[in-house]
Structures are given as structure tokens and as C-alpha cells.
Amino acid sequence: MRHFRAIAGYLKSDQFFPGWTEEALEDYVEFHLRQQTICIAVRGRIITGVLIGWQQAEPRHIPFNWQRTDPHGMWWWWDQFKADDTESAATVGRAFIASQPMCLGLPSVGLRHGKIKIYRPGMALRAYQKGMQLYGHVSSSTRPA
């Protein structure tokens, strides 16, 4: 329970979770931990990054709906990405690619500035590789949740 609360506290934002109660955000975190669609970067005992995404059938956003990852879906939905620094961003990216490699082969979908944005397959890997070129090797511990 403490883990759900800590991760929810890290993600808490009126911009991305308007009107959500603490309990609802904790339930959202628990849901994604259970279906393994969340990766977390930690430094010591401090959360420094979170990435959440899943496979789905359609390229659309369904707000406040608990969506299970759909192993037959042809789209990858990126729901949340937050990191305190480039090392944490690279850590959650690397962990997510390792735990959910299918995210690389599907077109990606997410909200950007309030609008649906679609990316070609492989864009997640190219973004990660570009970050590695710019910022170098990351060495912090990776913990796919």
C-alpha cells in the first residue's frame, strides 16, 4: 500500500489528473502495477521517474477508464511519463522497452498538448537512442514494476 501511495504522490498533478482523488490515483497505480504496464526509476528510496503505457485496439484516448493491455491490439498507448532528470527518463525508458518490447513494433499514441498524437512504429526506440546519444550511458538501478 505504501508503494501505491508513494507512486501516486509522485504522479499527482491537476494538469494530468484533474478531479482525481488520492484514492483513485492510488487505484490507478495499483492497477498498472498488477498488469505490469508501469516502470519506475528510484534513487535510494526516492521515486525519480514513472512511465505507464499499454497495448490497445484503437488509437484513441479513453479518460478515467481502467484499460487492460490488449495483447492483440495494434496500437501502443503512452499514458504517463514523468522523470526528474535525464538519467531517470532513460532508466524508465530502458526498463519499459525490456519489459514490454512490443511497444517498439506498434504505432504509438498519446496526448500531447491535449491532442492525440500518433507516432510511427519504432519511434520510442529512436527517442531512447537519441537520448542516449545526447546524455550518454545511464547507470542508475532499473526496477520494472
- The fold of the 2-144 domain, in CATH, is Aminopeptidase (3.40.630)
Tens of pLDDT, residue by residue over 31-64, are 999 999 999 999 998 999 999 999 999 998 877 6
DSSP state of 102: G
CA angle 100, 105, 110 (to 5 degrees): 75
Nearest to 17 by CA among 75, 82, 88: 82
pLDDT for the residue 106: 93
Is the Cβ–Cβ distance between 112 and 79 less than 8 Å? Answer: no
